[in-house]
Every structure is written in C-alpha cells, then in structure tokens.
Amino acid sequence: MKAKVQDNPRAEVAILLLAKVPELRDRRIRMRVVGMCMFRRTWCNNIFIDFLARHPLGPVRGAGTALLWYVARVASALDAAAIWGETTQNSVGYYSKVLRKKDMTDLLYIARNEYEAFCVATERLQAEAMSNE
C-alpha cells in the first residue's frame, strides 16, 4: 500500500484482509477463515472500512478486534488522520465497547489519537494474555 501511495499520493488502494487460523479443525469453517475486512485508503489519506466481519459461528474469540487492530496499524503506518465507516444496529455495540466510545451512531469515526490508543491497549492486553499462558 505504501508503494502505491508513494507512486501516486492520491491513489485509492483497497485491501481484502482475511483472518485465518491454520490450527482450526472445525470442518464447518471453510478454508479456516474466521474473519474478513475490506478497507481502503482514500485519496485524502484516511482509511475507510467497507466491511469488517467475524465468522458467524465465532470459532475464535477476538477475531474482529484483531482485524480492527491491523487496520489501525496500517492507518498508523500511513499517518492517516482517521479511520471511518458505517456501523449497523448489530455492530454499533461492538465498536462502542472495543473503542470505548459512548453515544456512537451509524458513523464510525476514529481519530488518529483514538486508533493509536486502541492499538496500545490491544497490544497490552495481548502481552498480558501471553504472559499468563
């Protein structure tokens, strides 16, 4: 993505991100994909989330958060001003909880300081979980 942007600073570049778990043995989960996210860098260097979803069977806890963390890390690497998108009645509660934002509506807007704080908090929780194993 960085190479595309260096070549054309106003380029819109899309990524389809798949979260896979190679060790997953659940035959109902095709190709071991537990979540997916389609996002893009806009021409003015923001990140737009087209969709973010975890597998409906929910075989792996934290798949949605891991995908959102990855998107936030890409935003950070590109020095994006914000991550934005649309929530649904089913996703607004999740985003509100994971981002610690109250009074969210159908507009998902995560400013740079918020997505950086989300990354730090997520990485801290991951490190704590790894140390408790």
Which regions in the chain score pLDDT beneath 70? 59
Query: What contacts 24, CB < 8 A, 6 or more positions away?
Result: 32, 34, 59, 60
Long-range CB contacts for residues 29-32, cutoff 8 Å, separation at least 24: 29/55, 29/57, 29/59
**Tokens representing residue 97 in the block:** 């909880």
The predicted pLDDT at position 99 comes to 94
The pLDDT, as a whole number, for residue 123 is 94
Q: Identify the pLDDT of residue 23.
A: 77
Determine the pLDDT at residue 25.
Answer: 75
Q: What is the pTM of this model?
A: 0.89
Predicted local confidence at residue 41, as pLDDT:
97
